[in-house]
Structure formats: C-alpha cells, structure tokens
C-alpha cells in the first residue's frame, strides 16, 4: 500500500513503477480514502501500542493506493525493495532509503508473511484479484523456462 504521504508528495506512480520494473505483476490496484473503521481493522495487530492512534490518524489523512503484487518470492522481494520501517535505517536503493525521512511518513506498507498478505488482501480487495499471465513472466521465473 502506498500511504498518504506518497500520494501527497506526488510520487505514487514513480514508486509503483519500481515494483513493475522489478518484474512483479499487479493483481489488484485501487485508490481509496480510508475511513477510521478500515484503518482500525488494518492496524488491529498494533492496537494498544503507543503508536496505534498515530498510525490510524496518518492512514486516514489522505487517499492511499492499495495493491496486490504477484511474482516469485513476492513478499520477500517487496519487503526488500521497501526497506526498513525506520527510514533512517533503510538502505540506499530501497524506497524508504531513497524517499523517506521519518517513521510514520515512510511511504509504504508491505505485508510481512503469507498469512498477513492473505488477510490484508481480503480486507482491501473483498471482490478478489485479477489472475492473468504475461509473456514476460516466463523470463522472470526459473520454473517457467523459455522454449
């Protein structure tokens, strides 16, 4: 998910293009304004932590771009591309390392495990995702060798 700061800074499509250029495929993409109820569901795992209210406040401040990315090792690849949660610790070349400065304004949310991804996809895309193949996919995966 691209958070409100990515939208407000006008770099949303620049960030999205990085995922696509890496070889990941968009299976769902949606621009929406997050209400408090949706924010609370999304951040339920953090309820009771000192930063919970700030998370909810930030994500409801402006629209977000929710997305589902697919590809080999998609979760690990996305997390690596996004970089450390704390932008000052993120490596150069990562999205947060290149574009973010402070904690809650770290531009991107990325699922951390298959179970988390499944629950977040169900929350943000209850109608499901779009399945399709690209000709390039066989060039991006070891199990689909070109013939």
Catalytic annotation present for 109: yes
- Please tell me which residue in 42, 46, 88, 109 is annotated as part of the active site: 109
- The residues, any chain, with a CB within 8 Å of residue 87's CB and separated by 6 or more, are 96, 97, 100, 101, 102, 103, 105, 106
Q: Is 117 exposed, middle or buried (0-12, 13-18, 19+ CB in 10 A)?
A: middle
CA distance 47 to 51: 9
Give the residue numbers annotated as catalytic, written as ranges.
109
């Amino acid at each position: 998910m691209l958070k409100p700061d990515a939208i407000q800074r006008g770099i949303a499509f620049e960030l999205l293009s990085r995922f696509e250029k890496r070889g990941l495929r968009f299976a769902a993409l949606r621009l929406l304004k997050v209400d408090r109820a949706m924010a609370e569901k999304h951040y339920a795992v953090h309820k009771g932590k000192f930063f919970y209210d700030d998370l909810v406040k930030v994500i409801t401040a402006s629209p977000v771009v929710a997305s589902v990315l697919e590809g080999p090792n998609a979760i690990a690849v996305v997390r690596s591309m996004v970089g450390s949660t704390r932008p000052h610790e993120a490596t150069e070349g990562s999205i947060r390392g290149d574009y973010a400065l402070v904690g809650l304004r770290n531009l991107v949310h990325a699922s951390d495990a298959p179970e988390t991804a499944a629950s977040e996809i169900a929350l943000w895309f209850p109608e499901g995702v779009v399945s399709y193949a690209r000709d390039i996919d066989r060039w991006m995966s070891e199990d689909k060798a070109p013939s």
